[in-house]
Amino acid sequence: MLILDKNISHTWCRKLWSPGKADLPGFFIDKISDRIQAEKDALKLTFIARILFKTIMRSKMFLCFVLFSFVSCDYIGMFPQSGNDTAIYADSSATLIDSLPAYDSANLLNPNDSFRLDTSNISILSPATSVDTRNVRPAELVNFAQKLLHVPYRYASADPAQGFDCSGFITYVFNNFHIAVPRSSIDFTHVGIEVPVNEAKQGDLILFTGTESDSSYITRSVGHMGIVTQNTDSLRFIHASSGKANGVTITPLNEYYLRRFVKVIRVFPD
């Protein structure tokens, strides 16, 4: 500021001094002081304006990031799933999974296999409030679903030769018994009868939001689902996960899934 003050002083010396002006020293000093103060104030305002501009730009970038996070959906059957679907909790179901028959791709691709389904003729039910289960028993459905354990995850697929997304898995299992169901998990929102978690039974469907980074988690809308396999000591469900298991797996209703839990629905008659 010293250099600036000297420059200002020299300039104003030339402009303000003239012979014969009364009280020249006092007049000169006052004008110089006023001019220096004005320049300092201008510099302060410029500095503040720059800080405000940077703050606004950073706010815009943050807003864009938030909007992008909200828009990036993973509704099953509509957009790809994202995130770690089972996170660290998948390990807790490893013992149960290992005790069940493993997925055998060679047998599954055999046209004569008893649970091979022609995926070229998938039956899709439009969003509805009920499902015709055609006198199929829930235990039959769950037993068949468990034969598909370890089939890999694949977005927008209902073909075990390629893999399943979560609603594709549900579609394949129900279609094996010629039961038409909605293709997208969100279309199950108003299907069946809602039941309390402690009253859930084998064959009930359990609905969740998408992952915690997904917009459906904020809106609490359905973005994932599975089939209840048991509810004795704890509720467990079978589902196609894009997370750590990366395929069809059985998972307990743990703390992670409780945060995403929407409801349990019953599609089979009591």
What are 43-55's pLDDT values in tens digits? 767 777 777 777 7
**117 backbone φψ class: left, alpha, beta (φ>0; ψ -120 to 50):** beta
pLDDT at position 118: 52
Tell whether the model's pLDDT for residue 82 goes beyond 70.
Answer: no
Of 21-35, 102-116, 148-162, 235-249, least confident by mean pLDDT is: 102-116
Which one is predicted more confidently, 138 or 20? 138
pLDDT at position 31: 63
Share of the chain above pLDDT 70, in %: 60
Listed residue (230, 180, 175, 184) closest to 207, CA to CA = 184
Mean pLDDT of all residues in 197-201: 97
User: How many other β-carbons are positioned within 10 Å of the β-carbon of residue 97?
Assistant: 18
Residue ranges of the alpha helices (H) in 147-265? 166-175, 215-219, 255-260
224-231 vs 235-241, strand pairing mode: antiparallel
pLDDT at position 38: 72
pLDDT at position 269: 94
What are 28-72's pLDDT values in tens digits? 566 666 777 777 777 767 777 777 777 776 665 656 554 544 433
Question: If you average pLDDT over every residue of the chain, what do you get?
Answer: 75
Tell whether the model's pLDDT for residue 91 goes beyond 90.
Answer: no
What is the pLDDT confidence band of residue 230, given thresholds at 50, 70 and 90? very high
pLDDT at position 34: 72
pLDDT at position 128: 67
C-alpha–C-alpha distance, residues 216 and 71, integer Å: 10
pLDDT at position 92: 37
Residue ranges of the alpha helices (H) in 187-250? 215-219
- Which residues, including other chains, have CB under 8 Å from residue 25's CB and lie 6 or more apart? none
pLDDT at position 36: 72
pLDDT at position 77: 36
